[in-house]
Amino acid sequence: MIKKFFEDIGRYFMLMGKVFSHPERLCVYSRRTIFEMEALGFNSIALTAIISAFIGAVVVLQMAITLESAFIPDFMIGYSAREVMVLEFSSTVVALILAGKVGSNIASEIGTMRITEQIDALEIMGVNSASYLILPKVVATVLFFPLLTLFSIIVGVVGGFAIAYLTGIILPGDYIEGLFYCFEPDSIVYAMVKGAVFAFLITTISAYWGYYAKGNSLEVGRASTHAVVASSVAIMVFDLVLTQIMRA
């Protein structure tokens, strides 16, 4: 098992070397990048919005219930909601969710092309299949996912405000005061950087499993499963590393 792990690591880096070497016909790549932004980015907006809004609302409710009998100012509820959304949820948890949606999509798409010999046909025509298929996806997600992270933060905060206003558990003025309490703009940059790193991990790891899929359609399903699991593990590991480096 350990041998297989290091073999996968080596093949992954070899594939990345192929992906980022000799890009051909940049006009074609730019069109494919725009297409991938729509397929992998814009199509994830609705899911991100729904989850972020409900998580923001749940955080506010939980904090209000927890602090109900404590001598803590109400504005700390808004502060807590902001910190949860900015520091962890909108980057890490959204990335884990998108690993399931986007990662499985990438692995199954490329895996299907592999078992139907479409990738072999590209290689015969002299096309760098790894770069042609994977690089536009990487560029699209690395550019779009940080914006999706920022969008998630905004929606989550608005969701918290909505539940506070509708239920009356906290005055809207206190909630807004908490949002601006000890606010550090660098934390937004930190969240967006994490979003970009996680986007790279999700896309490249999923593409790796799809690119080396073998056999039949069942193997494509297994490749998708491996892609989601491996991407999720990588996200958690790099979340720890980035937190240690950027928040130390």
The total of structural domains in the chain comes to: 1
Residue 131's pLDDT is: 87
The two tokens of residue 205 are: 């790891």
Residue 230's pLDDT is: 93
Residue 18's pLDDT is: 87
The alpha carbon of 124 is separated from its chain's Cα centroid by a whole number of angstroms, namely: 34
Gyration radius from the chain CA atoms: 21
Residue 14 lies inside a defined structural domain of this protein: no
Please check whether residue 107 is in contact with residue 207, taking contact to mean a CB–CB distance below 8 angstroms.
yes
Residue 32 lies inside a defined structural domain of this protein: yes
Residue 99 lies inside a defined structural domain of this protein: yes
Residue 28 lies inside a defined structural domain of this protein: yes
Residue 55 lies inside a defined structural domain of this protein: yes
| DSSP summary character for residue 214 | -
**Contacts of residue 49, Cβ cutoff 8 Å, sequence gap at least 6:** 151, 152, 155
CA distance 142 to 238: 15
Domain of 158?
23-246
Residue 201's pLDDT is: 94
Residue 104 lies inside a defined structural domain of this protein: yes
Please check whether residue 132 is in contact with residue 123, taking contact to mean a CB–CB distance below 8 angstroms.
no
Residue 178 lies inside a defined structural domain of this protein: yes
Please check whether residue 106 is in contact with residue 39, taking contact to mean a CB–CB distance below 8 angstroms.
no
Mean pLDDT, the chain cut into blocks of 10 residues (248 residues total): 81 89 71 85 87 88 76 79 85 86 90 88 84 90 91 90 85 84 85 92 93 84 90 92 79
Residue 206's pLDDT is: 93
Residue 5 lies inside a defined structural domain of this protein: no
Residue 205's pLDDT is: 94
CA distance 198 to 210: 18
